[in-house]
């Protein structure tokens, strides 16, 4: 079994996307390959087929490798709830909540478990592509490291060090990182990668040679800056603020926004612009307002109330379309209660009041994959023909602590027919009597064609635009992953990487 680890000079340098590229390249070359990140910190999570929670970055990497995502690819997920506190997910299940210091002191408890996970993976796959986190040169964390050099040493993995030239200072960041490594750590680094390059490579070339002389490690390539319709690193997403297409979808960028990948499928519609707003001044006149998920629903609701966005959303809802997802769905209701202090010490807070529902937070988290159909009939038109009694099929996953009670002025939105492979008959989401305020717990609800096509065509109809058929998001993702692999294959010394892993070709 071969292995390689991508570490970076800091956060957001492109580690996740490089791992995705390598997974797809090795798969294309006929190897069974699997991604692995021992510890991820992100509010962007995903639910596997067996109901376990993991980071979204490893989900994309799994797809690149031709695999279904599984929690062992990301055994530890940290979900920040404040600047100093987080929820700890271990092997896909909630382990507990802790402060940063508490978690720092408990990390060594997980070291043996992580190694055992890796050793099991070694028996199943030809190649494992590992990803580090943040910077590996955090010298204050070295003695308890379980995600960068500590993990690489534990499983004896060679390391490639990536730096982001788009930020500036890439030579200093690579040289500085190497300077802070111990002698054994320096020996583990077998190559460097310059990422996100714009410009003339001939001008860069002398610097690459000088860097090699300084760090005594070869540069394995320079990856150009590119834009593809793929999820970026969990902390590196660019929250667009401009209207760039005829259809303007405004998303409230909550302080603890989570699962913003719910919106990626909407971005795939060629006439749709998705922008993120944080103030009344940025609100504008959108065609749709979305309140996304949140890791701290009550605190984020109070924040948008304080800055005036709540009042603006209420005013907009008199004529506009509003959709709430998970935490955003809860905010749209009349009341949110937290009797067990799951999120905050605030026991009860008034909601925005656009949906006649009440939410109560429970102690246990719901983590399920679901299939559902629309509970109500959506009027649809295709090719000029009216389609009545249309039941929309949706699929996705639930990650939430709350349950909702319906009032007399709210109708369920979906009927869930399947949870983690078991047949069920339960209600989800809500829609107001006017049909313009909608909420659901289902993450990824736009990934399927039906609901996305209905919502966007409803907007097109309101704007006097023609109806369009939506494309399968999964097919788009596969094509983009192949493009990614092609770009990286052309610009990295893949033969050298095979050699570093001990594979002869």
Tokens of 149: 């050099």
Q: Please name the fold of domain 2-230.
A: Rossmann fold (3.40.50)
Report pLDDT for 83: 79
Topology alike, domains 2-230 and 247-471 = yes
Q: Please name the fold of domain 247-471.
A: Rossmann fold (3.40.50)
Tokens of 119: 């050793």
Taking alpha carbons only, the member of 5, 62, 75, 70 closest to residue 34 is 62
Question: Cα separation of 66 and 144, whole Å?
Answer: 33
- DSSP code for 492: B
Token match 């997974």: residue?
A: 23
SS3 328: helix
H or E element at residue 120: helix 111-124
Cβ atoms of 174 and 156 closer than 8 Å: no
Cβ atoms of 19 and 6 closer than 8 Å: yes
Residue 292 dihedral angles phi and psi, to the nearest 5°: -85, -170
Pairing of strands 76-80, 39-41: parallel
Q: Spell out the domain ranges in the chain.
A: 2-230, 247-471
SS3 385: strand
The residues with which 197 forms a beta bridge, in sequence order, are: 224
Question: Cα separation of 104 and 144, whole Å?
Answer: 7
Tokens of 273: 């612009």
SS3 129: strand
Report pLDDT for 381: 52
Question: Cα separation of 105 and 368, whole Å?
Answer: 31
SS3 343: coil
Report pLDDT for 387: 47
Token match 């508490």: residue?
A: 102
Q: How many CB atoms lie within 10 A of CB 376?
A: 14
Q: How far apart are the first and last CA of the chain?
A: 15
Whether residue 307 lies in the annotated active site:
no
Taking alpha carbons only, the member of 128, 179, 133, 191 closest to residue 8 is 133
Question: Cα separation of 120 and 110, whole Å?
Answer: 16
Report pLDDT for 14: 94
Cβ atoms of 303 and 278 closer than 8 Å: no
SS3 429: strand
Question: Cα separation of 373 and 394, whole Å?
Answer: 6
Taking alpha carbons only, the member of 472, 470, 465 closest to residue 248 is 465
Cβ atoms of 62 and 314 closer than 8 Å: no
Catalytic residue among 23, 34, 326, 404: 326
Whether residue 219 lies in the annotated active site:
no
Q: How many CB atoms lie within 10 A of CB 432?
A: 19
Question: Cα separation of 108 and 310, whole Å?
Answer: 44
- pLDDT per residue rounded down to tens, the chain (505 residues): 899 999 999 999 999 999 999 999 999 999 999 999 999 999 889 999 999 999 999 999 999 999 999 999 999 999 988 778 899 999 999 999 899 899 999 998 999 999 999 999 999 999 999 999 999 999 999 999 999 999 999 999 999 999 999 999 999 999 999 999 999 999 999 999 999 999 999 999 999 999 999 999 999 999 999 988 887 655 555 678 899 999 999 999 999 998 888 999 999 999 999 999 999 999 999 999 999 999 899 999 999 999 999 999 999 999 999 999 999 999 999 999 999 888 888 889 999 999 999 999 998 889 999 999 987 765 555 555 554 456 789 999 999 988 999 999 999 999 999 999 999 999 999 999 999 999 999 999 999 999 999 999 989 988 999 889 998 888 889 999 999 999 999 999 999 999 999 998 8
Question: Cα separation of 323 and 425, whole Å?
Answer: 23
Q: What share of the chain is helix, strand, coil (3-state, %, to 5)?
A: 35, 30, 35
Question: Cα separation of 470 and 447, whole Å?
Answer: 10
Question: Cα separation of 269 and 75, whole Å?
Answer: 34
Say what the pTM is: 0.89
- 403 Cβ neighbours under 8 A, 6+ residues apart: 359, 360, 362
């Amino acid at each position: 079994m071969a292995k390689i680890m991508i570490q970076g000079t800091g956060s957001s340098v492109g580690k996740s996307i490089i791992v995705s590229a390598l997974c797809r390249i090795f798969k294309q070359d006929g190897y069974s390959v699997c991604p692995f990140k021992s510890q991820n910190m992100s509010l962007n999570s995903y639910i596997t087929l067996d109901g376990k929670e993991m980071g979204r970055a490893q989900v994309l990497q799994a797809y690149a490798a031709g695999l279904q995502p599984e929690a062992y690819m990301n055994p530890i997920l940290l979900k920040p709830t404040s600047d100093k506190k987080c929820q700890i997910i271990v092997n896909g299940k909630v382990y507990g909540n802790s402060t940063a210091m508490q978690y720092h002191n408990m990390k060594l408890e997980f070291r043996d478990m992580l190694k055992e996970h890796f050793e099991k993976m070694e028996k199943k796959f030809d190649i494992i592509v590992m990803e580090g986190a943040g910077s590996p040169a955090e010298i204050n964390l070295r003695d308890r490291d379980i995600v960068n050099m500590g993990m690489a040493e534990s499983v004896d993995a060679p390391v490639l060090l990536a730096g982001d030239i788009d930020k500036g200072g890439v030579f200093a960041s690579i040289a500085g990182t190497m300077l802070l490594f111990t002698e054994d750590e320096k020996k583990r680094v077998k190559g460097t990668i310059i990422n996100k390059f714009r410009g003339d490579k001939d001008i860069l070339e002398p610097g690459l040679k000088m860097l090699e002389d300084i760090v005594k490690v070869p540069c394995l390539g320079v990856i150009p800056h590119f834009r593809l319709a793929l999820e970026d690193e969990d902390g590196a997403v660019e929250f667009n603020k401009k209207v760039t297409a005829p259809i303007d979808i405004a998303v409230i960028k909550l302080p603890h926004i989570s699962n913003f990948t719910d919106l990626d499928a909407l971005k795939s519609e060629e006439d749709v612009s998705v922008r993120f707003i944080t103030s009344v001044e940025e609100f504008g006149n959108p065609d749709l307002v979305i309140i996304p998920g949140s890791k701290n629903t009550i605190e984020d609701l109070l924040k948008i109330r304080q800055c005036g966005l709540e009042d603006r959303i209420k005013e907009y809802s008199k004529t506009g379309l509003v959709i709430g997802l998970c935490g955003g769905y809860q905010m749209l209701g009349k009341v949110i209660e937290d009797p067990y202090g799951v999120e905050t010490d605030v026991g009860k807070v008034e909601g925005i009041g656009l949906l006649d529902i009440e939410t109560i937070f429970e102690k246990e988290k719901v983590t399920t994959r679901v299939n559902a159909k629309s509970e109500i009939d959506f009027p649809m038109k295709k090719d000029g023909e009216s389609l009545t009694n249309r039941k929309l099929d949706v699929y996705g996953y639930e990650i939430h602590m709350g349950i909702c009670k319906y009032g007399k002025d709210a109708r369920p939105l979906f009927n869930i027919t399947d949870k983690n492979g078991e047949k069920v008959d339960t209600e989800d989401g809500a829609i107001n009597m006017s049909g313009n305020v909608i909420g659901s717990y289902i993450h990824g609800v736009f990934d399927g064609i039906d609901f996305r096509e209905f919502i966007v065509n409803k907007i097109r109809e309101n704007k006097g635009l023609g109806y369009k058929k939506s494309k399968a998001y999964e097919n788009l993702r596969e094509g983009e992953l192949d493009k990614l692999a092609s770009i990286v294959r052309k610009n990295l010394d893949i033969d050298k990487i095979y050699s570093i892993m001990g594979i002869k070709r």
